Amino acid sequence: MYAERINALPPYLFATIDEAKAEMMNKGVDVIDLGVGDPDQATPEHIIESMCEAVKDPVNHKYPSYSGLIDFREAAATWLKNEKGIDVDPVTETLTMIGSKEGVAHIPLAFINPGDIALVPDPAYPVYKIGTQFAGGTPYIMPLLKENSFLPDLKNIPQDVLKKAKLMFLNYPNNPTSATATKDFFKEVVDFAKENNIIVIHDNAYSEMVYDEYNAPNFLDVDGAKDVGIELYSLSKTYNMTGWRIAFAVGNSDIISGLGKVKSNIDSGAFDAIQRAGITALTSSQQCVADMNNLYTKRRDTLLKGLNQMGLDVKPPKATFYVWAPIPEKYTSIEFSKLLLEEAGIVATPGVGFGEYGEGYIRFALTRSVERIGEAVERMEKLEL
Ligand SMILES: *Cc1c(COP(=O)(O)O)cnc(C)c1O
| Cα-based torsion angle of the residue sequence 131, 135, 139, 145 in order, rounded to the nearest 10 degrees | -20
162 Cα–ligand 1 center, Å: 27
Q: What is the pLDDT of residue 311?
A: 86
Q: Is 247 in the pocket of ligand 1 (CB under 6 A)?
A: yes
Instruction: Say how far residue 319 (Cα) sits from the centre of its chain.
Output: 12
Helix axes of 333-344 and 13-26: crossing angle, nearest 10 degrees: 20
At 279, give phi and psi (nearest 5°).
-60, -45
Q: Does ligand 1 have an atom closer than 6 angstroms to the CB of 203?
A: yes
pLDDT, tens digit, for every residue of 254-271?
999 999 999 999 999 999
Cα(151)–Cα(128) distance, rounded to whole angstroms? Answer: 16
Closest residue by CA, ligand 1 atom 5: 100
pLDDT confidence of residue 136: 96
- pLDDT-based confidence at 215, cuts 50/70/90? very high
Tens digit of pLDDT for each residue in 144-168? 999 999 999 999 999 999 999 999 9
pLDDT over 70, % of the chain: 100
Q: Provide Rg for the chain, Cα atoms.
A: 21
pLDDT score at 54: 98
Domain 45-283 has CATH 3.40.640.10: yes
Q: Is 175 in the pocket of ligand 1 (CB under 6 A)?
A: yes
Give the residue-averaged pLDDT of 240-250.
98
- pLDDT computed for residue 13 by the predictor: 78
For residue 337, how many other CB atoms are within 10 A of its CB? 26
Measured from the Cα of 234, ligand 1's closest atom is: 7
What pLDDT score does 356 carry?
Answer: 97
Q: In whole angstroms, how far apart are CA 279 and each of 50, 88, 172, 334?
A: 9, 16, 24, 42
Mutate to test the pocket of ligand 1, among 122, 203, 241 (most ligand atoms within 8 A of CB): 203
Least confident among 200-209, 289-298, 303-312: 303-312
142 beta partners: 121
What is the structure's pLDDT at 254?
Answer: 98
Could you tell me where the DSSP H helices lie in 85-234?
100-111, 127-134, 159-164, 183-196, 225-228
- Looking only at Cα atoms, what is the longest distance across the chain? 61
pLDDT at residue 14 tops 90: no
What value does the mean pLDDT of the chain take? 96
Q: State the distance from the centre of ligand 1 to the C-alpha of 183, rounded, in angstroms.
A: 22
Residue 310: per-residue pLDDT = 86
Q: pLDDT tens digits for 337-369?
A: 999 999 999 999 999 999 999 999 999 999 999
The residue whose CB lies within 8 Å of the most ligand 1 atoms, and thus the one to mutate among 96, 100, 169, 363, is 100
CA–CA dist 204, 217 (Å, integer): 10
Q: What is the pLDDT of residue 15?
A: 84
Number of residues in the chain = 385
- Residue with the nearest Cα to atom 15 of ligand 1? 175
Q: If we measure between CA atoms, which residue out of 77, 119, 82, 136 comes closest to residue 256? A: 77
Residue bearing the CA closest to ligand 1, atom 14: 205
Indicate the Cα dihedral angle 156, 161, 163, 165, nearest 10°. -100
Nearest CA, atom 12, ligand 1 = 205
Please, are residues 126 and 169 in contact by the beta-carbon 8 Å criterion? no
All structural domains of the chain with their residue ranges: 4-42+287-381, 45-283
197: left (phi over 0), alpha (psi -120 to 50) or beta: left
**Residue 177 pLDDT greater than 90, yes or no:** yes
Is the CB of 242 inside a 6 Å radius of any atom of ligand 1? yes
pLDDT at 323 over 90: yes
Q: Does domain 4-42+287-381 bear CATH number 3.90.1150.10?
A: yes
Question: In terms of pTM, does the model score above 0.95?
Answer: yes
- Tell me what pLDDT residue 255 has: 98
Of the pLDDT bands very low, low, confident and very high (cuts 50, 70, 90), residue 313 is confident
What's the CA gap between 133 and 139, in Å, rounded? 7
pLDDT of the residue at 316: 96
How does residue 381 score in pLDDT terms, banded at 50, 70 and 90? very high
Q: Looking at the DSSP assignment, which residues form a beta bridge with residue 364? A: 323
